[in-house]
Structure 1
Amino acid sequence: MLLNHPENQQVENKQVENKQVENKQARRILVTGSSRGIGKAIALQLAQAGFDITIHARSRMAEAEAVAQDIQALGRESHCLQFDVNDRTEIERILTQDMAQHGAFYGVVLNAGLTRDGAFPALSDEDWDQVIDTSLHGFYNVLKPLIMPMIRLKQGGRIVTLSSVSGVMGNRGQVNYSAAKAGLIGATKAMALELAKRKITVNCVAPGLIDTEMVTDEVKEHALNMIPMQRLGQVEEVAATVKFLCSDEASYITRQVISVNGGLI
């Protein structure tokens, strides 16, 4: 019989081994862009909630390693991966190797992003491409190698994308960023439909103005006149929303965009 062929037996054994590894690490979450800011806060809160966390950074590996050490101090497993979310070939290689060693992911938080602000006529091709590629190609590049292993776990799962108030309402001087984040919302909603029967929820968090190192004092002052709550949000508030969406209590919430913006829209 074909099932007794040595090559088939090796395949079966490999599948069993992979399944054992997957089951062992069924509650592991990858957080992209998690060396600092919102991503770091998300990683720490998810670890506090009992998840093992895989940290990701494109270049700030010393900061990423420090976050991993903080998570390990909480009693959770954590290690770092380094890749550019635009490098499809490299991502597939790194994530495939990582899953072979640690098992499939239970969840993914897509936080990596960047801005290249400016009036539309002043935008360069690079300004447009980098912002669009990081959000939209990053969505595809990171999730493509991970989805089927998540499905094979048959334990449900969580995917959370980070959009922005700019993706919901548009923002002057951010045509590229608004387009990227609006596209991410569309991709999130479509993915949610495809994965709902697999009990994998897919949601989007859209932060408003959050107090990070990238926000200048001038922006803060201007924001106080725009935001009904008259303050900037904190990274911990965004992280708490993501943590809830990754929890068992959020198992019936999917295809949603949750705004964290102090009533801005």
Structure 2
Amino acid sequence: MAFTPRFAIVTGSDSGIGKATAVALAQQGMDIGITWLDDEAGAEATASEVRAQGRNAVVAQLDVRRLDRVGDIVSDLAGRLGGLDVFVNNAGAGDNVPLLELSLDGWRDTVATDLDGAFVGIQRAAQIMVDAGNGGRIVAVTSVHEHAPRVGQSAYNAAKHGLGGLVKTAAIELARYGITVNAVAPGEIATPMTDQEDEDPHGAERPGIPLGRPGDAREVAAVIAFLASPASAYVTGASWAVDGGMLQMGPHGGSHITSDDWRG
């Protein structure tokens, strides 16, 4: 049976990459489940954009640190949509605390947000897809720091490395059900996480990024939309860097290179 996605859930879709992804999937003909943590107005704005594409949108609050509730909220959204073909685990948070200053509570908060909650959501989404028997697409938004660590972000680096490992294992185990599992690893993207919401990244200079600028959330969403589509049927267990070439410069290249001298 050909895979034709109709229903998608995008966590953390009240802004940034999540919002852009929800709209991109709606443009591909999907009804969208939208989640928010503390910006209900942002989630409703995303829902309005989805509905403007002629698609249905349902909204729920989701704190991925509430591990006892994550799975049930995924199930509830899938029920309200009428099914689940695509699950995009986008909700996450960053930190910037040196190892020797990082508290155990801080470590646990970041890991719960970026890894534990992702596990619960991905597991429940996969079970819904397996039960339906129509295949599916799971995409986890990780980070370039899934692949290369950065100073001062030990909890974030560990969680994103772990999420990348979860994606690879899930890809192997779920392949028999026609479910693909992939990661998208953004670099510096103009979003609230980088304090660049609603800014045009094309005018910003980043000497340490080969393409010379931050990315636009819609550029990440386009890759996610491909991985959610029938066209990606033979792609699984992969991690797609969407970073303007940042990883080719080393883990500190993006923001620590301050001139274009290296280009010569």
TM-score, with structure 1 as normaliser: 0.84
Whole-Å Cα distance in 2 between the matches of residues 215 and 88 of structure 1? Answer: 26
Whole-Å Cα distance in 2 between the matches of residues 143 and 78 of structure 1? Answer: 20
Distance 1:135 1:216, change over 3 A: closer
* Residue of structure 2 in register with 1:69 after alignment: 48
**SS of residue in 2 equivalent to 1:224:** coil
Equivalent of 1:225 in 182, 207, 225:
207
Equivalent of 2:67 in 65, 83, 88:
88
Question: For the Cα contact (< 8 Å) 1:86–1:141, is it kept in 2?
Answer: no
Query: 2:112 matched to 1:133?
Result: yes
Residue 223 (structure 1) shift:
7.3
Question: For the Cα contact (< 8 Å) 2:18–2:90, is it kept in 1?
Answer: yes
Cα-Cα RMSD: 2.1
Equivalent of 1:209 in 166, 188, 191:
188
**SS of residue in 1 equivalent to 2:246:** coil
Query: 2:131 matched to 1:142?
Result: no
* Residue of structure 2 in register with 1:182 after alignment: 161
Residue 131 (structure 1) shift:
1.0
* Residue of structure 2 in register with 1:166 after alignment: 145
- The answer for unaligned runs of 5 or more in structure 1 is 1-24
Residue 243 (structure 1) shift:
0.4
Residue 83 (structure 1) shift:
1.9
Equivalent of 1:35 in 2, 5, 14:
14
Question: For the Cα contact (< 8 Å) 2:31–2:57, is it kept in 1?
Answer: yes
Question: For the Cα contact (< 8 Å) 1:33–1:112, is it kept in 2?
Answer: yes
Equivalent of 2:230 in 242, 248, 253:
248
* Residue of structure 1 in register with 2:239 after alignment: 257
State the aligned residue count.
Answer: 239
Bigger radius of gyration: 1
TM-score, with structure 2 as normaliser: 0.85
**SS of residue in 1 equivalent to 2:124:** helix
